[in-house]
Structure formats: C-alpha cells, structure tokens
Structure 1
Amino acid sequence: MQTVNVDSLIDRSVLPNGIVVLVTENQGADIVAGRIFVRAGSCYESREQAGLAHLLSCVMTKGCDGLSSLEIAEKVEYAGASLSTDAATDYFLLSLKTVTSDFREILALAGRILRSPSFPEAEVELEKRLALQDIRSQQEQPFTVAFSQMRQAMYQAHPYAMSVLGNETTMSSITRDDLVKYHQTHFRPDNIVISIAGRITPTVALDLVGEVFGDWRVPNEKQPILNLPEILSSPQSSLKPINTQQSIIMLGYMGTAVNAPEYAALKLLASYLGNGLSSRLFVELREKRGLAYEVSALFSTRLFPATFVVYMGTAPENTKIALESLRQEVELLSTAELNPEVLQTAKNKILGQYALGKQTNGQIAQIYGWYEILGLGIEFDRRFSELITNVNSSETMKAAIQFLQRPYLSLVGQEEAIAVGNRDF
C-alpha cells in the first residue's frame, strides 16, 4: 500500500487492489462522512440504455448479500446514520454519514451494498415506474424541456446529450440483467475512490477500509475505456411550443472540460453574468429593464467539454426583445475587457462560495473524492483557487472570443411568442 501525506490535512493511499483512499481528519465533531466514487456514471452507458446508471443507483440499496431493503434501512436507522446512492454524468456515488463509533458497521454495510447488490426483480420494476414518472414530470417543466433540447442539439451522439434519467423508451427497456452486467463491468476495486472526512485518523480509516474492501480482487478483464464520439454539431435553433405563462430563452455555447486552460476564465465569465443579485444579467435585464422573471448563467465542471449557458424566463410578449438583449450581453464580453473591479467581484463570489462549500465533513469528502475520480488529483483544490485568482481581464475576453460567438438557441413557450422570437435569430 502506498501512502502520501499531500498536506497537513489529507492523506492519500492506494490499496494493493487499486482502491484510492483519501482521509481528512477533522476532530471538530463526533461525525464521520464517506463518499465512495465509482467510474460508472451515465457517460459509461450506451445511448440505447440511457438511464441505466440512475436506475442502478435507485435499486442498489434495495437488497444485497442476504439483506432485504427493509433490513438495510433498519441497520441504517438503528445507527442514526444516513446512506444513499446517486448517479451523475461522470461518476456513480455512494454517500454515508454516521457517528464515529458506528462508522465501522456502516462502512461494512456500504461495502456489502457496493460489492454484492441483489437487484430484486420487484424493486427493479418499482424503481423503473418511479423513474418513468420523473421523466414525464420533467416533460412538463419548461426550463427542463429547454435545457434538454439544447443539450441534445449540442452533444448529438455524445452521452452528455441524454438526461441522467434517460427517456421513456430507454428506461422502459432496461432489465435486471442489464443492471447485473453493468455492475459486473464497472464496479471493481481499481475503479473506486473512497474519500473519508471526520473524527478518525488516517491509520484507523485505512484499517477499516482494508477490512471491508481489502479482499476485493481486480478482475482479469481490462478496465472499461470510454470511446466517445467527437462533439461536432453546428449551432441551431430548437423550438418547443408549450402552453405556459412565460417564455424560456436559452443560449448555449460549447465550452471546455475542467482540465482545459480556459476553464477558469469561463467560470469567471459565468459568475460575472449570472451569479447572484448583483450579476450583470440580473441587474441589466431584470432590475433595469424588467424583462426577466429569472435570469442566470451556468458553466458546469465536467470531465468532457461542458456547456456555457445563459437563460431567462420572460413574458411571452417580450420574447423577441429579451432574446436580443440576452445575446447582446454575451456579445459584449468579446468587445471590451472587464474592468478590474468587476472581475475581482466575480472572483470573490466564486472563491467565497467555494470556501463555504467545504464546511461539513460530507462536503470535504465530496470535493476531494470528486477531484480524484475526475483525474485531477486532490491538489486541484488548491489549484482551483489559484486558477481563479490569476485570471486577468485579457484572458476572459480571449475566452469569450474563442467560445462565446455562435450560440445554440432553445426556446420554450407559447407557439406564437417563440416563433416571433426566433424569426430574426
């Protein structure tokens, strides 16, 4: 086993079977939180099985290694602990939290769930029905519809085009055998990062992880390798008539992956445009001009190129002028550098929110494990702050010129309003 003390707070170890273990000792409260990451997010699904990782996350805690769903729930509740599973685009996640004295027992339970889920047929069918209800519910939410049609237009055949839930066709087709095969393929020790934070020493934490996972052998098959298609689509407009009281206007630009040089500059531009009540879009389009019910900007942290999105909800009669105004605000970023005071405000927002996002043991375990599973290493925690701090106005303008030129358009709302809004786009 290799152990490296990255700094005074975090220990990083690699077990002989390839499991990466991160331990952050925090004696502040008698709590231990754990995050177990698996390289098995929705990116690893076929397009025909979109929603598979999500369904797996719903079913995984419904039975394992001789335990029923009820017995698992009783064990967790008896300890006053929490245990849950989730699927994201780039990873699968099992989360747990407990008092220190019960950590051994809850970690052992998490290990049984992770390694030997039973996927009871009745539970699979129940969770499929619930997922289908969620999918249908999302089809009635204007923002979700707008974001979905933009994502599909931008990513085409890439897995990021699909919702983590999949769609009605793909979710309906998934079987228990599909879950078993997916689990056997991706849930292996050399695909796992375990991040632990709380009142526990690295030595004790490593011993407990070794007890639960040390005998898990790496299979003979090679690790699954993502072989994803290039993102080659061209900007286009997508319109969806819905009988709603407002128009949702969304402009999307293909940005970068988290490890690209321009990532920090785009993160700052998104913060400047849409982060909070003092952001450019909120002040100009909502407060001054009264065009927006809601307005914001998004740029996610992703393993592959992420979308840079600006959006607003507006009255149907304002759709055309609101679209023009939204696009003009983005275009301004390419014609003039942000003044230092404005740029510093955007930096302060990001760095302040980043610091606030590392207050609890769960948040600490989450962020270090997340960086590790993305291949960035836990050093990225320090590098992120440095990257944001070091961006200058010239770099933000260059990023805008390179990435924020030809937008995809997604419009959702009353048919006449979105037709007029799209006419001169």
Structure 2
Amino acid sequence: MTQTVNPSLSNSPIHRTVLNNGIVLLVAENPAADIIAARIFVRAGSCCEMREQAGLAHLLSAVMTKGCNGLSSLEIAEKVESVGASLSTDASSDYFLLSLKTVTSDFPEILALAGQILRSPTFPETQVELERRLALQDIRSQKEQPFTVAFDQLRQVMYQDHPYAMSVLGDETTMTNLTRADLVKYHETYFRPDHLVISIAGRITPADAIKLIETVFGDWQATATTLPTPNLPDIKLEPQHQIKPLQTQQSIVMLGYLGPSVSSPDYAPLKLLSTYLGNGLSSRLFVELREKQGLAYEVSAFYPTRLFPASFVVYMGTAPENTSIALQGLRTEVELLSHTEVSPSAFQAAKNKILGQYALGKQTNGQIAQVYGWYETLGLGIEFDTKFQELIASVQVADAIAAANKYLHSPYLSLVGPEAAINNAIA
C-alpha cells in the first residue's frame, strides 16, 4: 500500500500519513515509557443520526465490543485482559471513538483485535437488548439529576431540530425503538477507511506504525457509495425560558448562549471568557457569587469545542430561597463582560490558567493521541495544537468585549428545582 506524507508538517513532532485507502494516520513517537496508546476516530457521531433514532451511535458503541468475526464478548474481554491492556469504545456528538492502550510488545495483537471489532462487529441480539436496557436505566436515572435535567431542557430549546439538541443517549422512546438492523445499517454507512483517523502515541516509530496499520487495515477498501449529508437545519436564535419543577434540596439556575464552532475567529475569545468566568476556585463566578455572596453550592461555566455552533453556559446550584437572586447574579456577571474591561492581571491569569491546563492535558500517551486525533477529525489539522495556544495568547481585552457583545446577550434560561422557587424567579 502507498501512502502520502504532508510535507508542510515535516518539522512537526507528529508524523501524518494518508494511506492508500484514505485512512489518516498520526504517530507521535515517545520512547519514554514502554506503552503505546491509540485512538481510532470515525467521523460519525450522534450528529449523523436521524432524530427518531437518537441514541443510535451510543448503542452501537456499547454493543461493538460484544462480538466480532467469530469472537464472543467474553473472548474479546479475555484477549484484552490477559495482557493487561485496555480497550473501550465511545460515541460523542461529533465522532465515534475506539481507545486502546498496551505495553509495546502487545500492541500488534490488540490493534489487530481493534481492527476486527471496527470492521466486523456481529451485534449479537442478546447484547443489543442488554445494552439497550442499560441505556434506558441511564436515561431514567438522569431524570433524577437536577443538573442533567436543566442542561437537557436548555439544549433542546437552544438547538431545536439540530442533532445537538439531543443527549447522546437519546430518550426513552428513541432508545426503545432502536433495532439491531439500525446498528448494522449505521455501521455499513459510516465505518469505512476514508472516514477514519488513527492516532498513535508511544514507543513506536512512524515506519513501524505504518506497517502495522497496513497489515490490519490495508485490505479495507471504501465503497463507492457517497456518504449521506447529515440533516443539520439552521439554528434559530429564539431566547426563552424553560422550567422543570423537581423536589430537590437545591435549584439549578442555568443560562445558555449560542456561540460559534471551533473554526470561528470568535472561538478563542469566548474560550478565554469561559475560563475567566467559571473555571476553578479563582474564577469570577466562584469568587463573586459563592465566596462573597454565599449563593452557590456550585457555580461554573463551560464552552465546549464543537464542530458546529456550541453553547456557552453558566450555571449555579443554590438554595431554593436564593433562586431569584442567584439568577440575577449570573445575569449581571455575564452582562458585565459586554461593557466592563477585565483587569489586565485577571485577563492574563485566565490565559495562564487555560494554557497551563492545556499543557497538563497532554502528559500521557493517551492524552497526546486523543488531542491530535481529535483535531484531525474535526478538520482543524494537527497544527491546531500550536495554533490554539497562539490564538489564546493573542486575545486582547477588546477582542473579549467584542465577542461578549456579539454572543452573550438575551440568554436562554433553564430552571430546575422546587416549584415555588423557580416560578418566583421568573415572575
């Protein structure tokens, strides 16, 4: 099999190769420990599901390791555990992931097993039924978790008909109606070599990695069938509030703002503002609303990296009697970003925090394989590792204010808690 290497990345610590069948292979040689980690990404997640099949990618990931090409669930587990390796599968909104980690000498064997699982899953009917029941239990248990309830209803009202509106688990109706045939069709459609990114980090040379991948995946050819275009309707900006009475010891107050995807020039300023507002014990929300005012059991902000428009969310868990004042406090702190300059010291501290956490998130081979594979899968390229740090470092206070003015106004509101408390908050 032939392969092409991107010449512009010749000085990169990551060796990038595109194999003849379309597989993108990334290799980070790291001889420090006798360990190899791999992440195999498929460019298909819950965004590729039809709304009535929400939860399909999750169910497929749960069943995928339960049988393949003549091996039972137990036999797969024994192969992995007999050499002390790890192998798992997962699904997110933007991709499917198979993760594995072994000592160097066992990597070829476990990689070959991963290839069988990816290419020839059998989806045993009994395992499909078992994993569906477990997923339904998860869905039901989440209805008792105030934060999850609040985030689910916020996400649904923000994203409407877009796949991001749904939990990766789907709901009880969609999960109940999924069949083995649905799994087979999804797998046949999206699991193909030209849809794969394989990211490897550890004690292995690029040449040896290429040879191994060719051995395991080289005869896997993509079909001529054109991949279906995901149904991604426009997201209309229609801020509104949603409330859910729940007999709990606290109220969850959550504000959501529709932000841009990772490819937007506004991504870095908003990522920085999210860190400044709600990342850690020194963050603005923690200091102002918990330490100074004593309003919050927990308070935070998040703005995930997404292929499509992402949600910028701030939330607080508070005593029911404080629901109204907590809501006002959250609103005030976000609104301040649009017209009040963050102090240079606080702004630099937020930069240092996000860059420090980013560096700490690339210490293990598994983390390294994850980061580079993820960027490649999202279409950002492995050079985004350096670009992200440069973007964060170059954000100016004026950039942050401009981004806040553009996105952080007229929020969606989600309230969960005792009925009287949440009704009073929106009265």
Residue in 2 that maps onto 1:149: 153
Aligned equivalents of 1:38, 1:223: Cα separation in 2:
13
Contact 1:11 1:202 (8 Å CA) reproduced: yes
Aligned equivalents of 1:233, 1:333: Cα separation in 2:
20
Number of paired residues? Answer: 423
How far apart are residue 202 of structure 1 and its match? 0.2
Residue in 1 that maps onto 2:140: 136
1:390 to 387, 394, 399: 394
RMSD: 0.7
The answer on 1:250 being equivalent to 2:261 is no
Aligned equivalents of 1:93, 1:198: Cα separation in 2:
19
Aligned equivalents of 1:23, 1:308: Cα separation in 2:
33
Residue in 2 that maps onto 1:199: 203
2:356 to 344, 352, 357: 352
Deviating more after overlay: 287-296 vs 221-230: 221-230
How far apart are residue 220 of structure 1 and its match? 1.4
Residue in 1 that maps onto 2:81: 77
The answer on 1:61 being equivalent to 2:65 is yes
The one-letter amino acid of 1:3's match is: V
Q: Secondary structure at the match of 1:257?
A: coil
1:158-169 maps to which residues of 2 (within 5 A)?
158-169=162-173
The answer on 1:3 being equivalent to 2:5 is yes
Query: Which sections of structure 1, spanning at least 5 residues, go unmatched?
Result: none
Describe the superposition over 1:293-327 as per-residue Cα deviations: whole angstroms up to 9, x where unpaired.
10000100000010000000111111111111110
2:91 to 75, 87, 92: 87
Q: Secondary structure at the match of 1:21?
A: strand
Residue in 1 that maps onto 2:318: 314
The answer on 1:177 being equivalent to 2:170 is no
Residue in 2 that maps onto 1:265: 269
- The 3 A distance-change label for structure 1 pair 260 and 8 is closer
Residue in 2 that maps onto 1:403: 407
Aligned equivalents of 2:286, 2:93: Cα separation in 1:
29
1:265-414 maps to which residues of 2 (within 5 A)?
265-414=269-418
Q: Secondary structure at the match of 2:157?
A: helix
Contact 2:50 2:231 (8 Å CA) reproduced: no
How far apart are residue 336 of structure 1 and its match? 1.2
Aligned equivalents of 2:328, 2:81: Cα separation in 1:
54
Contact 1:138 1:145 (8 Å CA) reproduced: yes
The one-letter amino acid of 2:151's match is: F
How far apart are residue 8 of structure 1 and its match? 4.3
The answer on 1:100 being equivalent to 2:104 is yes
Aligned equivalents of 1:372, 1:224: Cα separation in 2:
21
Contact 1:236 1:409 (8 Å CA) reproduced: yes
1:118 to 98, 119, 122: 122
Using the aligned pairs only, state the percent identity: 71
Q: Secondary structure at the match of 1:293?
A: strand
Contact 1:38 1:92 (8 Å CA) reproduced: yes
Residue in 2 that maps onto 1:27: 31
The one-letter amino acid of 1:135's match is: I
Residue in 2 that maps onto 1:230: 234
Aligned equivalents of 1:248, 1:78: Cα separation in 2:
45
Contact 1:20 1:192 (8 Å CA) reproduced: yes
Aligned equivalents of 2:177, 2:230: Cα separation in 1:
23
Aligned equivalents of 2:357, 2:121: Cα separation in 1:
37
How far apart are residue 226 of structure 1 and its match? 2.4
Aligned equivalents of 2:207, 2:160: Cα separation in 1:
47
Contact 1:153 1:233 (8 Å CA) reproduced: no
Describe the superposition over 1:204-256 as per-residue Cα deviations: whole angstroms up to 9, x where unpaired.
00000000000001101013322410001400000000000000000000001
The one-letter amino acid of 1:166's match is: G
Contact 2:55 2:170 (8 Å CA) reproduced: yes
Contact 1:156 1:233 (8 Å CA) reproduced: no
Describe the superposition over 1:130-168 as per-residue Cα deviations: whole angstroms up to 9, x where unpaired.
000000000000000000000000000000000000000
1:44 to 48, 72, 97: 48
How far apart are residue 21 of structure 1 and its match? 0.2
How far apart are residue 340 of structure 1 and its match? 1.4
Contact 2:48 2:231 (8 Å CA) reproduced: no
Q: Secondary structure at the match of 1:334?
A: helix
The one-letter amino acid of 2:89's match is: T
Aligned equivalents of 1:388, 1:40: Cα separation in 2:
28
Contact 2:142 2:148 (8 Å CA) reproduced: yes
Contact 1:88 1:164 (8 Å CA) reproduced: yes
Q: Secondary structure at the match of 2:150?
A: helix
The one-letter amino acid of 1:4's match is: N
Query: Which sections of structure 2, spanning at least 5 residues, go unmatched?
Result: none
